[in-house]
Chain A
Amino acid sequence: MVTELTVFLVSTLIKIFLVIGVLLGLVAYAVLAERKVSAAMQDRIGPNRVGLPFVKARLMGLGQPLADAFKLMLKEQFVPGHVRGFYYNLAPMLAFLPALLAICVIPFAGVDPIHLPGLSLAIPQPGVIANVGIGALLLFAVTSLGVYGIVLAGWSSNSKYAFLGGIRSSAQMISYEVAMGFSAIPVFLISGALSLPQIVDFQIERGWLLLPFVGKQFDWHLLFLWPSLLLSSLIFLVTLFAETNRAPFDLPESEQELVGGYNTEYGGMRFGMFFLGEYAALISASGLFVTLFLGGWSLPFGLLGTATSLSTFFLQALVFLGKVCLLVFFFMWIRWTLPRFRYDQVMTLGWKVLLPLSMANIVLVAILLAVFGGTP
């Protein structure tokens, strides 16, 4: 007898394996894509030698992530003599975990129950691992834990470069977290929800918050709110760059001054964990931006709006994946285009520009909503 609980447990397990599998695959290929994109932008060729093992097929270097993974795993796990052992081992795990947890509340497809042929019970919430009512808050809370891995890595390495990198990174992350939270508030005010699936549903009906004219029905309220939403999304995007320590905000690991920053003393798979964590954070950050501003898994004008069968469900997931990949490409594009900020410029931008702007934006949106008489 199939009970509701077993359906829930089994479907959740499948979702977890699916999402984490796709995430790790995406991380591996994001690393390759980064190298390819940088190569293209600097008029080089990039990695193109590694294909399938034991065969002569090169496949334009698509086997590179496999080779990278094996290299990292087979390297000697060397621990320098001067580190603080326990924390030194703990830090890479703490750096990797928050990004994985964050992905749990991001909806990658519709959440309406799906009926499978041959199964009497519907699958609850197929499109998200955990459908939490305050998903957005939870996501911010979990991502704010990412600082620990970096602080501990910097401190436990017991070396000046790593320590400076760790301190810089945590100061940067704490500073930009505030502006990030504030810049997301207009989205919550307008959609009237903290739950990410509900925000996506709102965008399907009324138009994506970045492109308000692609909803099922045209809503002139959103046109008035559009300038604020553009500003809000811009601030959010910039803070995402800073939160994920990506160029032009890659101060924590600026090679020219700090060797490798907080991960200077790490090697082998421990270094690999930091690397994976960084890219996983990048992907979940892109997922969050897509969910908040780009309509999540939906297509314009309510196409693919409701999933009734498994095939539309997978189409929705593919749309979401496509949007995330585009945004990840955008992140790489910026990284290889802009030079790095100076440290005081980073702090000035965060505290004196982005924070007041995002606060003023909240007030403006609140006044507009009050004039319209609540959520449009």
Chain B
Amino acid sequence: MEGILFWFLALVLLGSAVAVITNRSPVASALSLVTMILALAGLFGLLGAYFLAAIQVWVYAGAVMVLFLFIIMLLDLKAEEGMPLRALGVGAGLFLVLFLGVGIWHAIPASAWEANGLRAAVSNDAASIGHLLFGAYVLPFEAVGFLLLVAMVGVIVLSKRDV
């Protein structure tokens, strides 16, 4: 059951990620990214990180991507026109992909493929994340809160026509 779900979600994840960069229309790209985010939330759920899955959907799909769609529609962005493919470019791209792929493959230790690792997930992950956030990680947490404040001020300054 878990295997089937994993392969299904992985397929959707990669398919929609590819669709983000192959679609010419910005709205289609944005919607593909939403699909990707939902599939990723599904994978988080499969890994037992239910809290993060909900946050992922709420923050990314519910807020960030709506903002993207907003901007696309307000600026009325048109579909990007294609450029002719050049042999050199395609070759360099393939080489890079191969290079990166081999690198990633070698970075994964052999022990990662043993099936014994996956046992009971941490139960009640929301509570344990909360304890860590307000315990060991309280300083980073405050820093992130301050970052949000700075970003808010920054966005208001940026989007006002004359300050």
Where the two chains meet, the residues of A that have a C-beta atom closer than 8 Å to any C-beta of B are: 87, 132-134, 137-138, 140-142, 144-145, 147-148, 151-152, 155, 163, 167, 170, 174, 177, 194
15 examples of A-B residue contacts, CB within 8 angstroms: A138-B50, A138-B57, A141-B54, A141-B58, A141-B62, A147-B62, A147-B66, A148-B34, A148-B66, A151-B66, A155-B27, A155-B73, A163-B73, A167-B74, A177-B63
Tell me if B50 and A132 are in contact (CB < 8 A). yes
| Chain B residues touching A, range | 10 to 19
> Footprint of A on B, CB under 8 Å?
27, 34, 50-51, 53-55, 57-58, 61-63, 66, 69-70, 73-74, 124, 126
Q: In the bound complex, how far is the Cα of B66 from the Cα of A167, in angstroms?
A: 11
Contacts of A137 in B (CB 8 A): 51, 54-55, 58, 126
List of A residues within 8 angstroms of B50 by Cβ:
132-134, 138
Is B58's CB under 8 angstroms from A144's CB?
yes
List the A side residues contacting B63 at CB < 8 Å.
144, 174, 177
Q: A133-B126, A144-B61, A148-B34 are in contact. Are A87 and B54 (CB under 8 A)?
A: no
- Residues A151 and B69 in contact, CB atoms below 8 Å apart: yes
A134 and B58 form a contact (CB under 8 A): no
A134 to B51, CA, bound (A): 7
- The reply to whether B54 and A151 form a contact with Cβ atoms under 8 Å apart is no
Interface of A is mostly: helix
Shortest C-beta distance, B144 to chain A (Å), equals 17
Chain A residues near B57 (CB-CB < 8 A) = 138, 141-142, 144-145
Nearest-neighbour CB distance to chain A for B156, whole angstroms, equals 12
Provided the pairs A147-B66, A167-B73 are in contact, do residues A133 and B61 lie with their beta carbons within 8 angstroms? no
- Closest chain B residue to A177, Cβ basis: B62
Chain A neighbourhood of B62, CB < 8 A? 141, 144-145, 147, 177
In this complex, the member of B53, B58, B74 whose beta carbon has the largest number of chain A beta carbons within 10 angstroms is B58
The answer for the CA separation of A138 and B51 in the assembled complex, in Å, is 8
Judging by beta carbons under 8 Å apart, are B54 and A174 in contact? no
- Whether A170 contacts B58 by the Cβ 8 Å rule is no
Distance of A199 from chain B, by nearest CB (Å): 14
Q: Which residue of B lies closest to A194 (CB)?
A: B126
B residues near A132, Cβ cutoff 8 Å = 50
A8 CB, nearest partner CB in chain B, Å? 12
Q: Which residue of chain A is the closest to B69 with respect to CB atoms?
A: A151
When distances are taken between beta carbons in the complex, the residues of chain B under 8 Å from A147 are 62, 66
Q: How far is the CB of B4 from chain A (nearest CB, A)?
A: 15
Q: In the assembled complex, which residues on chain B have CB atoms less than 8 Å from the CB atom of A177? A: 62-63
Give every chain B residue within 8 A of A167 (Cβ-Cβ).
70, 73-74
Q: How far is the CA of A147 from the CA of B27 in the complex (A)?
A: 15
Across the interface, do B54 and A138 meet the contact criterion of CB distance under 8 Å? Answer: yes
B66 touches A174 (CB 8 A): yes
For the A-B complex with A133-B124, A133-B126, A170-B66 known, give 10 more contacts whose Cβ atoms are closer than 8 Å. Answer: A138-B54, A140-B58, A141-B58, A145-B57, A151-B73, A155-B73, A167-B70, A174-B63, A177-B62, A177-B63
- On chain A, the residues within 8 Å of B126 by CB distance are 133-134, 137, 194
A163, chain B: closest CB distance, angstroms = 8
Are B54's CB and A145's CB within 8 A?
Answer: no
Chain B minimum-CB-distance residue to A166: B73
Distance of A297 Cα from B41 Cα, bound (Å): 30
Q: How far is the CA of A203 from the CA of B42 in the complex (A)?
A: 31
Residues of B within 8 A of A152 (CB): 69
Which residues does chain B contribute within 8 Å of A194, judged by CB atoms?
126
Chain A residues within 8 Å of B53, by CB:
138
Which residues of the partner chain A approach B61 to less than 8 Å between Cβ atoms?
141, 144-145
A132 vs B125: C-alpha distance in the bound complex, in angstroms? Answer: 12
Name the residue of chain B whose CB is nearest to the CB of A154.
B73
* CA gap between A145 and B69 in the complex, in Å: 13
Q: Give CA–CA (A134, B50) in the complex, Å.
A: 7
Which residue in chain A gives the minimum CB-CB distance to B58?
Answer: A141
